[in-house]
Amino acid sequence: MRVDDFSKLAVRVEPMTVADLTEVLNIEHLSFPSPWSARAYEYELRYNDMAHYFVARADTSALNTNSGERVLGWLKRVLHPAPANGTPQIVGYIGYWLMAGEAHISTIAVRPEMRGRAFGELLLAFTIEDAARRGAHVATLEVRISNTPAQQLYLKYGFEKVGLRKAYYSDNNEDAFIMTTPPLGSAQYQTRFERLKSALIMRLNEVGSKQLQSQPT
């Protein structure tokens, strides 16, 4: 399942560590009505052998934003400063549990002002590839029935709605769709995945080079 290499992109996907949790929890609180706690993440990272968590990092100062986003971005940076050591900012994260040949995606989120730039797709594609390499036959997840952006992302990657969990979310009793991929190793899925991955890498490279060209000197 390798057509090109995610490691050559300006946005890097790396294993999440406990040192990432301040930034991760900031995005978590901006993204979910019932955010996970630091303790929950620490448990996942330190003790859950089935868990695999990743962050995507990019130099967000190089990303074009419109003026409204720039003001909002400035305000957010003042309130939640990026690490001072020059490390690129975490733009999103994802996690999954590998259980009995199934990759169960437990979470995915992108920093609100960084959405719509293919970072969520990069995290999902990276995870599907990582899980397949570790022996997952399918990927599965739950998603709020109202969460159209996330569902569209999963549908793009071949997930199908295979069931419903009634009142799955305790904050508002919302139902969850269970969405699952076809067999990851099937020729049909691999062809689809490779096509999507090539387009994704091209898109992320194009965005990166346009941003570099438009940088003030």
Ligand X SMILES: CC(C)(COP(=O)(O)OP(=O)(O)OC[C@H]1O[C@@H](n2cnc3c(N)ncnc32)[C@H](O)[C@@H]1OP(=O)(O)O)[C@@H](O)C(=O)NCCC(=O)NCCS
**CB of residue 151 vs ligand X: minimum separation in angstroms?**
8
According to CB under 6 A, which one of 152, 170, 173, 217 is a site residue for ligand X? 152
Whether 154 is catalytic is yes
Q: Which C-beta is closer to ligand X: that of 156 or that of 187?
A: 156
Query: Which one from 142, 168, 169, 194 is the annotated catalytic residue?
Result: 142
Q: How far is the CB of 85 from ligand X (least distance, A)?
A: 25
Of 4-12, 75-83, 151-159, 182-190, the window that binds ligand X (rule: CB under 6 A) is 151-159
Size of the site for ligand X (CB under 6 A): 19
Instruction: Tell me whether residue 121 is one of the annotated catalytic residues.
Output: no
Residue 138 has, within 13 A of its CA and on its CB side, a CA count of 13
- Regarding beta strands 160-169 and 138-144, do their DSSP bridges make them parallel or antiparallel, or are they unpaired? unpaired
Does position 139 bind ligand X by CB under 6 A?
Answer: no
Q: Which of 114, 35, 30 is nearest to 79 (CA)?
A: 30
What strand order describes the sheet that includes 138-144?
A: 12-15, 51-58, 89-99, 102-110, 138-144, 174-180, 160-169
- Each residue 91-110 as x (binds ligand X by CB under 6 A) or -, in order, gives -----------------xxx
Segment (H or E) for 43? helix 38-46
For residue 116, state whether it binds ligand X (rule: CB under 6 A). Answer: yes
- What residues numbered 118-137 form the site for ligand X, per CB under 6 A? 118-121
Q: In sequence order, what are the beta bridge partners of 176?
A: 144, 165
DSSP code for 116: T
Q: What b-and-e string marks burial along 135-162, b requiring 16 or more CB atoms within 10 Å of the CB?
A: ebbbbbbbbbeeeeebbebbeebbbeee
Interacting residues with ligand X between 36 and 95 (CB under 6 A): none
Binding residues for ligand X, rule: CB under 6 A, are 31, 108-110, 115-121, 143, 147-150, 152-153, 156
